[in-house]
Homo-oligomer: A and B are copies of this chain.
Amino acid sequence: MATPRRRRRSNASPRDREAMAGRIPQLPWKQPRNPYAPLKVISDDQVEAIHRASLRVLEELGIELMSAEGRALFRAAGAQVDEASQIVRMEGALVEQLISTAPSEFTLTSRNPDKALHMGGDSIAFGMVAGPPSVHDAVNGRRSGNMDDYENFTRLAHHFNAIHIIGNQVCAPVELPANSRHLDTYNANISLSDLCFHASAIGAGRATDAIRMQAIARGISLAEIADSPGVTTIISVNSPRKFDDSMADGLIAMSRHGQPPVVTPFTLMGAMTPVTLAAGLTQQNAEALFGIALSQLANPGSPVVYGAYTSNVDMRSGAPAFGTPENTKANIASGQLARRYGLPYRASPTSASNAVDAQAADETQMAMWSCTLGHANLQYHAAGWMEGGLCASYEKFILDVEMIQHMTAFLDPIEIDEGTLAFEAMRDVPTGGHFFGSPHTMDRYETAFYQPMLSDWQNYENWELSGAKTATQRATDLWQQALREYEQPAMEPAVREELDAYIATRKQEIGTGDP
């Protein structure tokens, strides 16, 4: 079989040169756009039915809002606030009026303006896993989160172009003081990568530290970063229908500084919502709209993201499940809801698997397809998520990067023109022949197809000869190689100095107190 191997050296593409140098091949940095129409799993009438049911929840049942400042904002806007129960109720018309000032898109800018992220429309940003207490890799086993692993994951996020944004604490560095470790993780995000990142918004202090450090890294003022946001955060809701104090205050702080909170009810059907998808989506929508309204009360016109995380629990054990058929439908329907309100949309391609195995790939793919078909602008927890979010895995990270790259290549539209239709090439190859040596092939083969980094396409015999490694075993080689290939992005000494000074001052201020 004639293959064009011989001609490769003379006319090598950057990707090919990477491969020749033994480096891991990867797609170039870009933020994917989804050129295809969003899928609909419910009709427009059904979207309206969920919308109306959500407004009824906000009108008649209300949301418990533990933040006194938040309640004062709602009261001033005309909502009914019961100070004893801390429950806020409001007319549907008020909800719609409040959320109407939220922008449909915005740009999130890191210290590298080439890696600015468009949030909204058909754009997608794939984000790292965030929040696991544990870490796993096949070489060193399972362990508690720690700063060394935090830094390695941050290096991997920077190294792979597939990753666009770093989550809030890819793993928890538990050896560091809980009240100031956010300063160390922000520092790692900013120093070891040049990506946008996600602040911890447990209280206003942690949120403002992230904003100030990102402003320093970009060499701009707090006023300037308010007009050009650079960090985001997830505001989780204590579903059903409860915003706790620190998350609400974090949300308010982020919005006041013009940074986009991602309001995400964690609505596990059967546990935190009724057991039906219609109710899960209704409750998610009510809670999300409430948080979005609060962001607009804090700062009308400030950016905010509609977050969705409706999945189901295992009804035998209460354990959460992800990438299930119900989660898949919810991810797509939630996109329909977010678009109804003209809001950027966040969802998550995650899995409940305890091993980096076929289940992990299956569930993550179910969820990633639904995030993509639902036009989620932020696919959060998209790389490294294991054990339902309780563990960050190096091998899963590699698998996820491969799956993200598959999806990214799928989103490259088919080119149809005279050159690609290739009538002459077909004419010149006899019936039953082959196209390996065709000039049309030679001119295009280097970039015609996505070249995998993890998938192994050898035949069985060659695969066996090269060690019969599973994808997970190959992933172990790849994350180690990526850490060797990693190059730390440069930083101006003045910025370095200012960041170090800020961190030192803040650590002193915080002491053992509240951040």
Chain A residues with CB under 8 Å of chain B are 1, 3-5, 36-37, 39-42, 46, 49-50, 53, 56-57, 60-61, 63-64, 87, 134, 142, 238, 240-242, 269-279, 281-283, 312, 314-321, 324-326, 328-329, 333, 352-363, 365-366, 369, 373, 387-388, 390-391, 399, 402-403, 406-407, 409-410, 412-417, 419-423, 425-427, 429-436, 438, 440-441, 444-446, 448-450, 452, 454-460, 463-464, 468, 470-472, 475
- Residue from B326, B402, B423 within 8 A of A449 (CB atoms): B326
A53 and B421 contacting across the interface, CB-CB below 8 Å? yes
Complex Cα distance, B455 from A234, in Å, reads 28
Closest to A87 in B: B431
B358 and A423 contacting across the interface, CB-CB below 8 Å? no
Q: What is the oligomeric copy number?
A: 2
Residues of B within 8 A of A57 (CB): 423, 426
Closest to A445 in B: B315
Give the Cβ gap from A477 to chain B, nearest Cβ, in Å: 14
Complex Cα distance, B283 from A450, in Å, reads 21
Instruction: State whether A270 and B435 are in contact (beta carbons under 8 Å apart), knowing that A37-B40, A39-B37, A366-B406 are contacts in the complex.
Output: yes
A325 and B410 contacting across the interface, CB-CB below 8 Å? yes
7 additional contacts, CB 8 Å, given A276-B421, A325-B410, A352-B455? A37-B40, A63-B431, A276-B448, A281-B414, A358-B472, A361-B365, A369-B369
B277 and A420 contacting across the interface, CB-CB below 8 Å? yes
Residues of B within 8 A of A359 (CB): 361, 454-456, 470-471
B274 and A354 contacting across the interface, CB-CB below 8 Å? no
Residues of B within 8 A of A452 (CB): 324
A274 and B422 contacting across the interface, CB-CB below 8 Å? yes
Residues of B within 8 A of A5 (CB): 316
Instruction: State whether A353 and B420 are in contact (beta carbons under 8 Å apart), knowing that A361-B362, A362-B361 are contacts in the complex.
Output: no
B406 and A325 contacting across the interface, CB-CB below 8 Å? yes
Closest to A432 in B: B242
- Residue from B406, B416, B436, B445 within 8 A of A42 (CB atoms): B416
Question: What are 19 of the A-B contact pairs (CB < 8 Å)?
Answer: A37-B40, A41-B413, A46-B416, A50-B421, A57-B426, A242-B432, A271-B435, A273-B426, A274-B422, A275-B441, A275-B444, A279-B426, A329-B414, A354-B456, A359-B456, A362-B399, A362-B406, A365-B365, A369-B369
Residues of B within 8 A of A417 (CB): 278
Complex Cα distance, B275 from A419, in Å, reads 11
Residues of B within 8 A of A444 (CB): 275-276
Give the Cβ gap from A401 to chain B, nearest Cβ, in Å: 12
Complex Cα distance, B399 from A416, in Å, reads 36
Closest to A359 in B: B471
Give the Cβ gap from A330 to chain B, nearest Cβ, in Å: 8
B456 and A271 contacting across the interface, CB-CB below 8 Å? no
B39 and A39 contacting across the interface, CB-CB below 8 Å? yes
- Residue from B274, B324, B355, B464 within 8 A of A470 (CB atoms): B355
B457 and A270 contacting across the interface, CB-CB below 8 Å? no
Give the Cβ gap from A139 to chain B, nearest Cβ, in Å: 17
Q: Which 10 A-B pairs have the closest CB atoms?
A: A325-B409, A361-B361, A278-B420, A365-B365, A279-B422, A274-B422, A64-B431, A359-B471, A358-B361, A357-B470
Complex Cα distance, B450 from A363, in Å, reads 13
Complex Cα distance, B361 from A283, in Å, reads 33
Give the Cβ gap from A59 to chain B, nearest Cβ, in Å: 11
Give the Cβ gap from A154 to chain B, nearest Cβ, in Å: 24
Closest to A282 in B: B421
Residues of B within 8 A of A471 (CB): 353, 355, 357-360, 362
Instruction: State whether A416 and B468 are in contact (beta carbons under 8 Å apart), knowing that A352-B457, A410-B328 are contacts in the complex.
Output: no
Complex Cα distance, B355 from A356, in Å, reads 14
B49 and A421 contacting across the interface, CB-CB below 8 Å? yes
- Residue from B333, B360, B421 within 8 A of A278 (CB atoms): B421
Residues of B within 8 A of A363 (CB): 455
Instruction: State whether A315 and B354 are in contact (beta carbons under 8 Å apart), knowing that A63-B431, A274-B422, A365-B361 are contacts in the complex.
Output: no
Complex Cα distance, B429 from A172, in Å, reads 33
Closest to A446 in B: B315
Closest to A366 in B: B406
Give the Cβ gap from A348 to chain B, nearest Cβ, in Å: 17
B421 and A458 contacting across the interface, CB-CB below 8 Å? no
Residues of B within 8 A of A358 (CB): 356-358, 360-361, 399, 470-472, 475
B391 and A460 contacting across the interface, CB-CB below 8 Å? yes
Instruction: State whether A366 and B410 are in contact (beta carbons under 8 Å apart), knowing that A315-B448, A432-B64, A455-B353 are contacts in the complex.
Output: yes
Residues of B within 8 A of A430 (CB): 240
Closest to A402 in B: B362
Residues of B within 8 A of A432 (CB): 64, 238, 240-242
B275 and A450 contacting across the interface, CB-CB below 8 Å? no
A312 and B448 contacting across the interface, CB-CB below 8 Å? yes
